Amino acid sequence: MDERTRIMVTSGFLPSDKPKTHALSRPFIRQLDVVLVSPAPPPRDLAEATATYHKGQFTLAEIFEYACSVGNADWNLTAAPNTTACDDTWCIDPRGVLTLCVSKALYERLGLAGRRMPFKGCPEQYVIAIPVYQHTQTAGNRARQKRALEMWDDERAASGVELWEVLYHVQGEAPPPFQEIETIIVKPKATQASDVHVPSPETLKLSLSDKKSHKTEAEEDWEDSICELNEWLGMACLGAHRLKGNDRVDPYVAVYSPPPSSHTGSYHHLSWTGLLSAAFVQTVIDAVTTHAASHRAIAGIITHGYTQSPIGHLSPSSVTGVIASPEKSINNNNASLRVPRSAGEDTSCLLLVPAQQIQNEGMDDNSAGTWVLTESVGQWDKRWG
C-alpha cells in the first residue's frame, strides 16, 4: 500500500519574508536543486557556491560534551548520525537542542524525562529534548544527562557498535570538536538543457488576495497548474528526455506530457548533495531571487530533507536565541516531531516568478513578483498536526 503524503501550497507576492526565512525552518537538508528557466547562465556566485560539512566517528557523550562546553547563542552545531538505522537515533538542531528518539526499553533505561511519540500504526517510540547551550541546565542535571548518554554508548560498545558516524556543521566561531575529522566540500553539479519544453508564467495568474471559503473553477485550475509545474521541475532535475521539444509522448512508454502552455526554451540546473546548512541554503535562495528578477526568469528551488532525524521543521523565530526549555519549545510547535525513517518524505519546492513575467490580480506596482511554496511530508510527521 502506497504511503499517504500531505501537501501544503502557500503563495504570495514578492518581496516577502517567506523566501527570506525559508531555509531557517529546515534544519536538516540533504539535497538542494535549483532550476533557472532562462538561456542566461547562472551568476558566478551561484554557479560556484560551495557548502562545507564534516564527518567523524564519536560517542554521543563526546558530541554532547563538546556542544555543552562551547555552545552559545552566537554559534550553533547541527549534527545527525550518518545511518539508515532509525530505531534509536538522535539529532542536534540549530536551536541548540539534542533530541533523542528511542524505543520504550531504552527510554526506561536512560531515566531522562521525555514523552511518547503521538503517532499510531508505528513502533512505540519516545522523544527526549535536552538543551546543549551553556547555562541552560544545572550542574546536577547536566551530569545526569551525560551519564545516561554514556550508558547508551556503553550498550552500543557491548553490542559491537562503539562509535557513531556523525555528520555535522558549525555556524560561527567555535573550535573543532576533534582532530580526526573529514571535511567535505560540496560543489554544485551543473547541467544545461536547450530546445526543451519550458513552462509559461501565464499558468500562475490568479488573484492571490481572493480568500473565498469555496474554491472557484479558476482556483482549481490554478492548483492543477501548480501540480504540473512541480512535476515539470522534477523532470527538469532528472534531465528527463521527455522534456525535449522534438519528443513525442508514447503512452506505452510514459504518460508524461509538459504543461499545455509550455513553449520551447532553455533551463539551467544546479544541484548540491550533503548535509547543507540553513545559512548556505538561504544564500542560494537569495542569489536565485536576485538572478530571477534581473533576468525575468522563472526559478524553482527544491529541498529534500534528511528524514532520519526526529526533527523535521522549526519555526524560524525559534532558531535565534537560547532555548532554555526545549520541551516547551516542542509543545509550542516551534519544532515538529516525526518518526525517523530513511524512506520518509520531506520535500519543498519554492517557485519564483518575477513581476515582469506575470501580472496577478492584487499585485501592486511595487511588487517584485509572485512566489509559490509547495511542501510535502509523509506519514507520522507533526508538521501540520
Which three cell numbers, joined as nine digits, stand for 340?
A: 525517523
Report yes or no on 323 lying in a domain.
Answer: no
Quick one: 96 and 180 in the same domain? yes
Q: pLDDT for 194-241, tens place per residue?
A: 999 898 876 565 444 444 455 677 777 778 888 888 999 999 999 988
Q: Is 317 exposed, middle or buried (0-12, 13-18, 19+ CB in 10 A)?
A: exposed
For position 266, what pLDDT does the model report? 94
Q: pLDDT for 40-61, tens place per residue?
A: 899 999 999 999 999 999 999 9
Report yes or no on 68 lying in a domain.
Answer: yes
**Alpha carbon 45 to chain centroid, angstroms:** 22
Q: What is the pTM of this model?
A: 0.89
Q: Which helix (H) or strand (E) holds 79?
A: strand 76-81
CB 80 within 8 A of CB 308: yes
Q: pLDDT for 177-200, tens place per residue?
A: 666 689 999 999 999 999 998 988
Reduce the DSSP state of residue 253 to 3 states and report it: coil
For residue 84, what pLDDT band results from cuts at 50, 70 and 90? Answer: confident
Between helices 139-158 and 60-70, what is the axis angle to 10°?
160
Least confident of 74-88, 169-183, 359-373: 359-373
Q: Count each helix (H run) and each strand (E run) in the chain, helices first.
A: 8, 17
Quick one: 160 and 287 in the same domain? no
Report yes or no on 373 lying in a domain.
Answer: yes
Strands of 182-186's sheet in order across:
115-116, 125-131, 97-103, 89-93, 76-81, 164-171, 51-58, 182-186
**Residue with cell string 471559503:** 213
Quick one: 208 and 235 in the same domain? yes
Quick one: 173 and 249 in the same domain? no
CB 191 within 8 A of CB 239: yes
Quick one: 138 and 207 in the same domain? no
Quick one: 140 and 83 in the same domain? yes
Nearest CA to 290 out of 45, 49, 22 is that of 45
Domain around 160 = 53-184
Domain closes at, from 184, 213, 237: 184
Domain closes at, from 160, 184, 208: 184
Report yes or no on 159 lying in a domain.
Answer: yes
Quick one: 66 and 44 in the same domain? no
Three-state secondary structure along 255-305?
CCCCCCCCEEEEEEEEEEEEEECHHHHHHHHHHHHHHHHHCCCEEEEEEEE
Which three cell numbers, joined as nine digits, stand for 112?
A: 531522562
pLDDT cut 70: percent of the chain above it: 81
Quick one: 10 and 137 in the same domain? no
Report yes or no on 69 lying in a domain.
Answer: yes
Which three cell numbers, joined as nine digits, stand for 50?
A: 560551495
Domain closes at, from 161, 184, 207: 184
